Structure 1
Amino acid sequence: MVATSISNRDSGDKAQSETLETSPDIEKGAGHNVHGAAGKGFIATDNHGESLVLFDPEAERKLRKKLDFYIVPTVSILYLFCFIDRANIGNARLAGFETDLGLTGDGYNAVLSIFYISYIIFEIPSNLACKWIGPGWFLPAISLGFGISSLGTAFVHDSASASGVRFLLGIFEAGMMPGISYYLSRWYRRSELTFRLSLFIVMAPLAGAFGGLLASGILTLDHFGSLHSWRMIFGIEGIITIGLSLIAFFTLTDRPETARWLSQEEKDLAIARVKSERMAQTSVLDTFDKKKLWLGIWNPIVLSTAFIFLLNNITVQGLSFFTPTIVGTIYPDKTTIEKQLYTVPPYVLGAVFVVSLSLASWRFDRRAIFIVATAPLTMLGYILFLASHDPHVRYAAAFLTAISCFALGPLANAQASAVVVSDSSRSIAIGTNVMFGNIGGLIATWSYLPWDAPDYKIGNGLNLAAASLILVVATIQVLWMKWDNKRRDAKDVDAELQHFSQVEIESLEWKHPGFRWRA
């Protein structure tokens, strides 16, 4: 038995379904089994957001295990090479990229910035396109695009061509993080989402580790076809990405209804359990609605979380692009390959911390309090960078920053997903969050300037300030949510809703009087 019914009303009657779609008392007819709850025209929550369906924990566990096996590995591998194709320019810099292209002064920083201009502009449009086209087609398509762009970087010969290819790379990569986050929200409950997001976002620090190992291995080759030195890094990694994206067209399932590897009972369960957390929604995948899209952006927690993510990405993207450079200043006498290998351990430990913190978030169904917890370690790391010239202390500081800052990625995206209700709002809320984050990435490209070497006081000071501000904003956010929940508790939900039609109730989003924030 997958679930038990709270109401005896027949959920399969077509006429009843049509009535429920327009009735303000729709929740009275929504207490049905999993099959009924999965159907369009029925809601699966009461006016207080509580599920009207009782789910079998064992059936959920089996389904979750199946989703983890079929869904997460493909998107994780795609994101791994998405991040490698973005950050490998840092490894190429150590191998002569800057010198060969004649980039002097802040020329390298300028090439990095071009990527973020297109990345920011196309963030929200990409996620709306992802909803419209369907993630099962959209994500492999843009992966193919950034794989080709990475391969093209192997053949650039001046700053103009390098900037052009990086601009294209930004267009294609813009949809990956928000697209995958939105895609996973189609399959997982709110509490489960943070951990699953961590399983693909952890690829960011792993990309730093694996990218360093891969780059050092590639550089041991004499040539790859007509490519030599740093050009081999872009060529080989681009070809790998292209191959993976072509495979993904066949392995990535768009939504539960089209999953050939799920039985009908499992499809219904997958839909119903997600729907049971979406207050007043009659379907999981709704059509575009202007009001829902607006409320997906104009949400105080979405906007404050997006600002936190902006601050966090100053550090995350700064580490991605400049860790090889920073390690090079700490150990100037090491060979290029040794410097590449020194970048690996901080990222590995960072990856472990990402998964561990996200697992705790899943168990407690909390995100904001964990966001608060990440800031102090990042602050300590940059204090050590600024206060000490000892190579061992500064290398230890790299570990502290890596283990804390990367963990905020899945937490922030899960929070943006958790504080909206409908699918339309979720698509644009996640897109907004990542767009703000990439503004932080643009700032990061100018945080470590050549004339500020070797101590990089401006870059390290900027990151210390960003982490400190995260602590302040995240703490205020938690306190505000608790205050607003108390204010909402004083309202009579049924009385507040009595003059609304079902369509109007469905469009209330987080303004629904029964909605509560979760810190």
Structure 2
Amino acid sequence: MPKFDTGTDADSGFSYVPLENSRHVHPPSTLDNVSQFDNEKFFLDDNRLSSLTKDEESNSGIINAEDEKKLVRKLDLHIMPLFCLFYFSDYLDRANIGNATLAGLQADLGMTATQLSAAISAFFITYILFEIPSNCILKKTSARYWLSFIMLVWGISTVLTAFCTNFTGLMIARLILGAAEAGYIPGIMYILSKVYKPKEFSFRVGILLTMATLSGLCSGPLTYATSYLDGKNGLHGWQYLFIVEGVPTVVLAIVSFFYLFDDLQNVKWLTLEQKDLQSQRIALHQNADTGRKPITIETFKTVFLDWKTWAFSFVFLFNHINVMSITVFAPILIGSFGFTSTTAQLLTAPPFGVATLSVLLGGYLASRFNFRSPLLAAGSIIIAMGYSSLLIFTNKWALYTTLFLIPIGMGLQAAAAIGWSAINYPDLTVRAVAVAAVLMIAFGMIFNLVTSLVSASLSGLTGYILYKENCRRDSDPTEKVCLCCCIA
């Protein structure tokens, strides 16, 4: 029967619920009559289950460990390289505006700092709004058609960004890019969670996330290279950057259409025996994907009334603020240390190289020891040390060195923060909505709530300080006059 991944080792005290015949891997047919799992009844012991799958299942002949290893290797070879390319393209196209700004985009379009910030933020408006609708469409249609389509849209949007001539055009391009990319990461996570067991899932997510850091590593040198094209054919270097990064995405969208899959039972590169084995080994962790269960109002109630959805949202929010801050603003930040524009572009690469190794380490540790919360805690401490150091040091090379601490902490957290929710909803219809809901809540509702509370607190504190200062300066000691001065 399905289980929860608790985020810690199995010895942490979560109870194992004995179920009849629960020590066997049931084929999908035994789950056909299960419409929805009662989540609170399925906290199974990860290590006990791991031990079960390796020993008792092998001995009973239900799952042969060697056959399963061969199957997982085959899944990796056919799935991971392609998904890594998709993920790399996703992050390269969303974060390139930081490099383009350093290359002269703001000056060439005549934008103020406020307009530039608005254009950067515009991406997240549609990104938040379209995450859940996108995954609902994915569940109702197919990954082959829907994910390929949205990749084509964001590829075209990236190319067209190169030909924006003012703030309005850039805003429209960023809004379209956000809407198109909104469903891709939730969609990819949903597909992977159907293919891999929880202990296999985290390391694969870690490999995927290295594509985000590698995109940051490549973006700086790529911007540096396109700077030599500045003036060619009447285009600026940053325009060539968008073209060079957008055209391959359009090509990948076509590749995606022919190679993406919805159900492993329909692919041609697995034998019938391997398809049966895949069904058996994954049946422990999720309901059978019959493809007939619709997304209803009850599905949304199940997702939004589940405490896990909100907990995972907070976890992802705090992690992703750090990820996007360093990914988008690293070139601008390094430039502010006192380095020249071209040097700053090149210096963005090494921290992302460190982040790549850290992401792989975090994904490996999460899969190897089956814990996630300790990695999130350790990563947060390291990130806090890095950001605090930026306030202390003044030497430009010392400041640059601190940018290696932040990616280390970010990398340790990444696989756990992003993939945790995808393996804790056994019902696949609920999971399709929940994975997107976690991202939407984190980006939208919680972020707006936090910023509103911070804004309110700062406004109140500022008003109080001004009130006390006006009282000190004003000859009239009455509170009303002081308050009027403060408001004025």
For Structure 1 versus Structure 2, the TM-score category normalised by the shorter chain is 0.7 to 0.9
Alignment map for 1:8-407 (pairs within 5 Å): 36-37=27-28, 41=32, 54-222=62-230, 227-278=235-286, 281-283=287-289, 285=291, 287-290=293-296, 291-332=298-339, 334=340, 336-407=341-412
Q: Secondary structure at the match of 1:178?
A: helix
Structure 1 distance, partners of 2:128, 2:353, is 28
Match of 1:192, SS? Answer: helix
Partner Cα separation in structure 2 for residue 440 and residue 384 of structure 1? 30
SS at match of 1:202: helix
Residues 151 and 250, structure 2, Cα contact 8 Å, conserved in 1: yes
Preserved contact between residue 38 and residue 275 of structure 1 (Cα < 8 Å): no
Sequence identity (%): 30
Contact 2:155 2:250 in 1 (8 A): yes
User: 1:22-50 deviations in whole A, cap 9, x for unaligned?
Assistant: xxxxx86898777x44676377x998656
- Contact 1:42–1:282 (CA<8 Å) still a contact in 2? no
CA distance in 2, matches of 1:170, 1:441: 19
Alpha-carbon distance, 1:315 to partner:
1.6
Deviation at 1:298, TM superposition (A): 2.5
Task: Report the Cα offset of residue 239 of structure 1.
Answer: 0.6
Whether contact under 8 Å (1:292, 1:422) holds in the other structure is: no
Cα distance, 1:442–1:242 mapped onto 2, change above 3 Å: farther
Q: Contact 2:337/2:396 (CA < 8 Å) preserved in 1?
A: yes
8 Å Cα contact 2:362-2:413 kept in structure 1: no
Higher alpha-carbon Rg = 2
Structure 1 equivalent of residue 413 of structure 2: 408
CA distance in 2, matches of 1:284, 1:342: 50
1:274 and 1:103 map into 2 onto residues whose CA distance is 52
Question: Secondary structure in 1 aligned to 2:285?
Answer: coil
Task: Identify if the C-alpha distance between structure 1 residues 310 and 181 changes in structure 2 by more than 3 Å, giving closer, same or farther.
Answer: same
Q: Given that residues 221 and 346 in structure 2 are in contact (C-alpha distance below 8 angstroms), is that contact kept between their aligned partners in structure 1? A: yes
Say what the alpha-carbon RMSD is for the aligned residues: 2.7
Are 2:202 and 2:416, in contact at CA under 8 Å, matched by a contact in 1? Answer: yes
* Residues 275, 284 of structure 1: 8 Å contact kept: no
CA distance in 2, matches of 1:409, 1:308: 10
Question: In 1, are the aligned partners of 2:25 and 2:283 still within 8 Å (CA)?
Answer: no
Q: Distance in 1 between matches of 2:121 and 2:245?
A: 21
How much does 1:172 deviate? 0.4
TM-score of the aligned structures, taking structure 1 as reference length = 0.74
Q: Which amino acid aligns with 1:351?
A: T
C-alpha displacement of 1:58: 1.2
Q: Secondary structure at the match of 1:339?
A: helix
Alpha-carbon offset, residue 164 of structure 1: 0.4
Match in the other structure for 2:423: 418
**Structure with greater proportional helix content:** 2
**What is the CA–CA distance in structure 1 between the aligned matches of 2:292 and 2:418, rounded to whole Å?**
20
- Counterpart CA distance in 1 for 2:393 and 2:311 is 33
User: What is the CA–CA distance in structure 2 between the aligned matches of 1:240 and 1:195, rounded to whole Å?
Assistant: 27
The runs of 5 or more residues in structure 2 that have no matched partner are 1-18, 452-457, 459-488
Quote how far apart the aligned CAs of 1:272 are: 2.1
The answer to whether the 8 Å contact 2:97/2:328 transfers is yes
Distance 1:407 1:92, change over 3 A: same
Structure 1 segments unaligned to the other structure (5+ residues): 1-26, 447-457, 459-519
Q: 1:80 deviation in Å?
A: 0.7
The reply on whether 1:432 has 2:437 as its aligned counterpart is yes
- Please report how far the alpha carbon of residue 308 of structure 1 lies from its aligned counterpart in structure 2 after TM superposition: 2.0
Q: Is this contact kept in 1: 2:144–2:262, CA < 8 A?
A: yes
Distance in 1, matches of 2:227 and 2:336, equals 21
* Separation in structure 2 between the aligned mates of residue 91 and residue 410 of structure 1, nearest angstrom: 26
> Structure 1 CA distance, aligned partners of 2:395 and 2:230?
36
What's the offset of the Cα at 1:254?
A: 2.2
Following superposition, the deviation at residue 288 of structure 1 comes to 2.7
Matches of 1:232 and 1:441, distance apart in 2 = 37
Distance 1:233 1:32, change over 3 A: same
Kindly provide the amino acid, as one letter, of the partner of residue 330 in structure 1. Answer: F
Aligned counterparts of 2:414 and 2:342: Cα–Cα separation in 1: 29
| Contact kept in structure 2, 1:297 and 1:425, CA below 8 Å | no
| 2:465 alignment partner in structure 1 | none
Give per-residue Cα distances to partners, 1:47-92, cap 9 Å, x unaligned. Answer: 8656896422211111111111111111111111111111111111
Q: In the alignment, what sits opposite 1:469? A: none
Displacement of 1:341 in angstroms is 0.7
* 1:406-485 superposed matches below 5 A: 406-439=411-444
In structure 1, the partner of 2:11 is none
CA distance in 1, matches of 2:232, 2:301: 50
Distance of aligned partners of 1:144 and 1:225 in 2 relative to their CA distance in 1, 3 Å threshold: farther
1-side partners of 2:397 and 2:168: how far apart? Answer: 39
The CA deviation at 1:202 is 1.6
Paired residue type of 1:435: M
CA distance in structure 2 between the aligned counterparts of 1:29 and 1:349, rounded to whole angstroms: 47
Secondary structure class of the residue paired with 2:112: coil
Task: Give the secondary structure class of the aligned counterpart of 1:262.
Answer: coil
Aligned residue for 1:219, secondary structure, equals helix
Paired position in structure 2 for 1:494: none
**Alpha-carbon deviation of 1:282?**
4.8
- Which amino acid in structure 2 is aligned with residue 62 of structure 1? K
SS in structure 1 of the partner of residue 404 of structure 2: helix
Q: Which moved more, 1:390-399 or 1:258-267?
A: 390-399
Report if the CA contact (8 A) 1:151-1:235 is conserved. yes
Distance of aligned partners of 1:413 and 1:425 in 2 relative to their CA distance in 1, 3 Å threshold: farther
